[in-house]
Chain A
Amino acid sequence: MKYTEEHEWLREEDDLIVVGITEYAAEQLGDIVFVELPEVGTTVSKDDEVVVIESTKSASDILAPLDGEIVEVNERLVEDPGKVNEDPIGDAWFFKIKPEDPSQMDEYMDDAAYNKFIS
């Protein structure tokens, strides 16, 4: 698992990268009440705003961590945004991306570095 400074986690699954937000991020955002996902098939560039999430407090974006194509989205979150608070690093993944250049993963933090980042 890798982590971005935007508090996303990235998990490799075969040749795809699964993206979600960390427990720390979910805790900071508070109760999530709205999730808007990108369309499957969208080509994205790193740092594009691809997901909108809103908590009881405010709206935030999730950025594409890599260049690539969105190949799957977690529609369940649209119906049940509270899943993001319940299980942020498990069931509540947001999207799967097929990276153009898997080496873009190298710049992201590992567990130890992320834990240090948020402490």
Chain B
Amino acid sequence: MTELKRLPLDELHRALGAKMGPFAGWDMPVQYAPGVLKEHLHCRAEAGLFDVSHMGQVILRGAGVAEALEGLVPTDIVDLPEGRQIYGLFTAPEGGILDDLMIANKGDHLFLVVNAACVDEDVAHLRRALEPEGITVEHITDRALLALQGPRAEEVLAGLAPAVAKMRFMDVAEVEIAGQPCWVSRSGYTGEDGYEISVPAAGAETLARALLGHAAVAPVGLGARDSLRLEAGLCLYGHDMDPATSPVDAGLSWAIRKVRRKGGAREGGFPGDARILSELAKGTETIRVGLKPEGRAPMREGVPLYADPESGDPVGRITSGGFGPSVGGPVAMGYVPSALSAPGTTLYGELRGKRLAVSVAPLPFVPANFKR
């Protein structure tokens, strides 16, 4: 087994009392002393500081970089204005999802943030496809990535850098914060307003301590990051989507922009386009939905779903699930037949040999609080 990678803020997490645990090859803070529930609720009420430095940061440069990246991602990058960010997916030739990512137009380059578990494959994929077209692919490994999330995130960050108050959801900007040259986006993975901040690794502790110095800010670990994103209805790569699920299966059709769809000016031209464009028109057999267990018992990843309380084979399965602290009960997501995907449809999850009622629920479970 290879040794876990240490975050630039490893010592700070330990000093803050974090319980550390492995995730995607990194030794990550899973929770701090207050625990997952209180950290989750603190983020929804005030502001939480997350260390997401395990995520991959990549810069793409070169003439025609937006057109070139559109060959791998079915979204509209050519028309993405400078200073804006968009959500995208790397698709596979068979139409499945290789990873999801954020793509920011920084003027003379594109800045990508990809999943930690996929970064090596993503960088190789980008190099294979884009270097022959004269695009340089730079994997940034000397910067940390912090996320400040919650209703008081703007107040806190603007106290250090007033310019960030004017940013809207999915804006990106270069801003000096606590003396550090930061790349800031107004986005996140919690359903709350907030920012993701790329900062030089050497200055990450200075920035983190400046943020933690505000009474509204508490550190939040990966445990609460997972329950926050689950309540927000956001997919976790490798769980709610993977190479076997297409963007349409995953309920991410919205991420395929009109210009890349049938009849669009730049129709298709991405891996898996035949399957994905056909699915956009005809639908899929199964689709990802929100699921609300009717009882109190959490239903976690892998729980099989049945259409009938007593007989028959499974018709679907849960891909993410647990206790939603803000909902005050269990919440889940999973794949079900499209014919059984209408909100309110009752299905049955099998837990400890018993089939318990679950209803298909609209996502998100907690309304998004973005500053549009």
Residues of B within 8 A of A (CB): 31, 35-38, 223, 227, 296-298, 300, 322-323, 325, 330, 352
CA distance A52 to B297 in the complex (A): 10
Across the interface, B223 reaches (CB within 8 A) one of A34, A56, A82, A85, namely A56
Q: Please determine whether B296 and A56 come into contact, CB atoms closer than 8 angstroms.
A: no
CA distance A105 to B44 in the complex (A): 47
Q: Please determine whether A54 and B223 come into contact, CB atoms closer than 8 angstroms.
A: no
Q: Please determine whether B322 and A34 come into contact, CB atoms closer than 8 angstroms.
A: no
A-B CB proximity, top 9 nearest:
A33-B323, A56-B36, A31-B37, A31-B35, A54-B298, A34-B297, A34-B296, A31-B36, A56-B323
15 A-B residue pairs with CB within 8 Å:
A30-B31, A30-B36, A31-B35, A33-B298, A34-B323, A34-B330, A54-B297, A54-B298, A56-B36, A56-B223, A56-B227, A56-B322, A57-B223, A78-B296, A82-B37
CA distance A53 to B176 in the complex (A): 47
Nearest B residue to A36 via CB reads B297
Nearest A residue to B296 via CB reads A34
CA distance A78 to B295 in the complex (A): 11
What's the least CB distance linking B41 to chain A, in Å?
A: 11
CA distance A85 to B35 in the complex (A): 11
CA distance A57 to B298 in the complex (A): 10
* Given the contacts A52-B352, A54-B323, A30 and B35 also touching, CB distance less than 8 Å: yes
CA distance A39 to B325 in the complex (A): 28
Nearest A residue to B37 via CB reads A31
A56 CB contacts on chain B under 8 angstroms: 35-37, 223, 227, 322-323, 325
What's the least CB distance linking B74 to chain A, in Å?
A: 35
What's the least CB distance linking A58 to chain B, in Å?
A: 8
CA distance A36 to B36 in the complex (A): 21
A34 CB contacts on chain B under 8 angstroms: 296-298, 323, 330
Nearest A residue to B31 via CB reads A30
CA distance A20 to B296 in the complex (A): 21
B227 CB contacts on chain A under 8 angstroms: 56
B330 CB contacts on chain A under 8 angstroms: 34
A59 CB contacts on chain B under 8 angstroms: 298, 300
CA distance A64 to B38 in the complex (A): 31
Nearest B residue to A52 via CB reads B352
CA distance A48 to B364 in the complex (A): 39
Q: Which of A33, A52, A59, A82 has the most CB of B within 10 A?
A: A33
CA distance A36 to B227 in the complex (A): 22
List residues of A (24-78) whose CB comes within 8 Å of B's CBs: 30-31, 33-34, 36, 52, 54, 56-57, 59, 78
CA distance A30 to B38 in the complex (A): 11
CA distance A95 to B31 in the complex (A): 30
A33 CB contacts on chain B under 8 angstroms: 37, 298, 323
CA distance A82 to B37 in the complex (A): 10
CA distance A31 to B221 in the complex (A): 14
B37 CB contacts on chain A under 8 angstroms: 31, 33, 56, 82
- Having A56-B322, A78-B296, one finds 4 other A-B pairs with CB under 8 Å, namely A31-B35, A56-B35, A56-B223, A56-B325
CA distance A57 to B352 in the complex (A): 17
B35 CB contacts on chain A under 8 angstroms: 30-31, 56, 85
What's the least CB distance linking A98 to chain B, in Å?
A: 25
CA distance A57 to B31 in the complex (A): 11
A85 CB contacts on chain B under 8 angstroms: 35
